[in-house]
Structure 1
């Protein structure tokens, strides 16, 4: 009798344990999106981050990716969420960023899907996500991954005058995009691990593009510069591409404000970089649309056929202006211009709020480049006809950064 009672007792305990384990398994497999509530009164930075996390429960799914990939678009959004975590330490933000890094960085420090020998400067950006994680964990694999990306920059092909090629497949070309892709990582790395020994080389990248790609008439910078002047899109005298693209200019001013975070004030080149930021910002301010506060896809062609008020460039300018003013690099009037741009993003380009509180930023140019296959000629018609994508990461990342700088 006693034995059978004991058996029944043990059986019931065993059943409870099995049920507990099973329920734990189910819970852990449920997507994090189910727990996400996007409240009406949240700041815009949180609203956008939580919208993206709800729509893409794992960070590698950003930009509708089907499998994990080491990519600059993921890095841009995750960097903005990392910055958001510093202001609002919600553990979900940290876990979201960490999940992406740990999906791709292997125990030996190698990085899944990262193709070193393509010398694609876009693939340097995700390296920015490794600094905080390494600083916190001191795990060797993150340091090895950082060193591998640093090695890419060490070996990155350069123009005759010393500028990084945008990619191995784009010889002798510097694009404005590349300044953001390479220099913030390069600056943080050399200051953190090399006692700042390469700061002059970083300043040189900006000097070259400033010297060669700036239009003396408008003060704006062209999307690309081919030092060899061989590309069909390149002006035979200057080597510049034919038009001003707002997102390219956005990459450039974001690169400047982010690099300045790590440039010591007493460094001989620091003032030079601040001057470049002021020059570019002054030129851009002239082309800000008076009524909406936004900028057009082709920056200087307001009212041109099929030109439109574009989200990513506008968000990038809002961020760079706000951060530049907050840090004292730019006059305070730029904070007002940043707020005006942010008003345009929220009132003109966020046209609806979903039932779950999620927000959608419209009029985001999905992609644009120069050369390649199929061939991109950098013409006005090319830029205005490139496809658009709602909540494209190149717009949502800078939107979160702008919201943080403006405390919106």
Structure 2
């Protein structure tokens, strides 16, 4: 009898432990709000130009990625102040883009991702006038080589997915696929995706014969993070039966698989994924993007929970412990660039040239963590 009671208590204990959520949702929300409030306090004027080595408008890609994260935060925690901050930014820029509507540079029309999200909350044709004019031209022009660097996949791809759904127009899906596959298979010498390693070269300057100091291929962490983030966002948007979905799923899974063995022991990923000695060390932006992608994959049944939950948990806890300051500032964010050496060295108190895109990635990661059961 005692043995039976002991066994039942043991089963009950295992059940209780297994039923515990992986993360404290209230704590996660508190952490991402802390980081966001730091930024909103530091940048109360949404239209203020960004001055680094030169002056830039506040609707460039770095800030647009932040607003992607803010809109994700608003979706799980709809505070009026978040909506107003995003709306005022869009209004200031007249819902438009640096370089105007004829511009084909994905960095400059990235802001459309937030514009579309704001439009869906309160439809008004003025909000999408520029977005439609800018993106529709791709449907009527033969070029498909615009995304010659992998960052552009994230800046542009989700916009085509969002417009395809909004307009119920498959041409956006088809053009998005053509442009994605050209980057994947044609840019550089033989495309920028190495199917063997499951990772991407940043652009044609880094595919073979270019090598890292240790002789490995150069796979930049944040560059691969951009692609993983884009694929997750697109898979979240397009229909389940969209004819190109299988390709995106396969690439997404290959990337996730490739990232597991190169995660650092402390939970972060190095800026150089296959050469830990080439400016090795903690880096938040790429890590946050990988966490976002993997957590999205687990939450939506694309990635195996048992395999990826420990990877996600280790990475999220590392970012909270090692990067998030008491005032909400995020340390170990690599400044803008295109390879491991840019913006180095990194450390806890270092302010990157732009504080916005790293935060955007952190907010996207945190909102997916918040949804995790």
Is 1:367 matched with 2:352? no
Give the structure 1 partner of residue 17 of structure 2. Answer: none
**How many angstroms apart in 1 are the aligned matches of 2:181 and 2:236?**
18
TM-score between both structures, scaled by the size of structure 1: 0.73
Give the structure 1 partner of residue 136 of structure 2. Answer: 151
The 3 A distance-change label for structure 1 pair 85 and 41 is closer
Q: Secondary structure at the match of 1:267?
A: coil
TM-score between both structures, scaled by the size of structure 2: 0.79
**How many angstroms apart in 1 are the aligned matches of 2:139 and 2:321?**
44
**How many angstroms apart in 1 are the aligned matches of 2:161 and 2:130?**
16
Task: Select 1:201's aligned residue among 163, 175, 187.
Answer: 175
Task: Select 2:198's aligned residue among 209, 213, 219.
Answer: 219
**How many angstroms apart in 2 are the aligned matches of 1:127 and 1:41?**
28
Give the structure 2 partner of residue 339 of structure 1. Answer: 313
Structure showing greater Rg:
1
Unaligned runs of 5+ in 2: 1-25, 186-190, 211-215
Superposed CA RMSD in Å reads 3.1
For 1:97-108, list aligned pairs within 5 A: 97-105=86-94
Unaligned runs of 5+ in 1: 1-38, 167-173, 226-230, 370-377
Conserved 8 A contact 2:165-2:237: yes
Give the structure 1 partner of residue 120 of structure 2. Answer: 135
Greater RCO (CA < 8 Å, at least 6 residues apart): 2
Is 1:125 matched with 2:110? yes
Deviation, structure 1 residue 295? 0.3
Deviation, structure 1 residue 126? 0.5
Deviation, structure 1 residue 217? 4.8
Task: Select 1:73's aligned residue among 57, 62, 68.
Answer: 62
The 3 A distance-change label for structure 1 pair 40 and 266 is closer
Q: Secondary structure at the match of 1:322?
A: helix
The 3 A distance-change label for structure 1 pair 395 and 41 is closer
Give the structure 2 partner of residue 58 of structure 1. Answer: 45
Conserved 8 A contact 1:68-1:103: no
Is 1:282 matched with 2:271? no
Task: Select 1:189's aligned residue among 136, 146, 163.
Answer: 163
Provide the aligned length of Structure 1 versus Structure 2.
Answer: 331
Deviation, structure 1 residue 320? 0.7
Deviation, structure 1 residue 62? 8.3
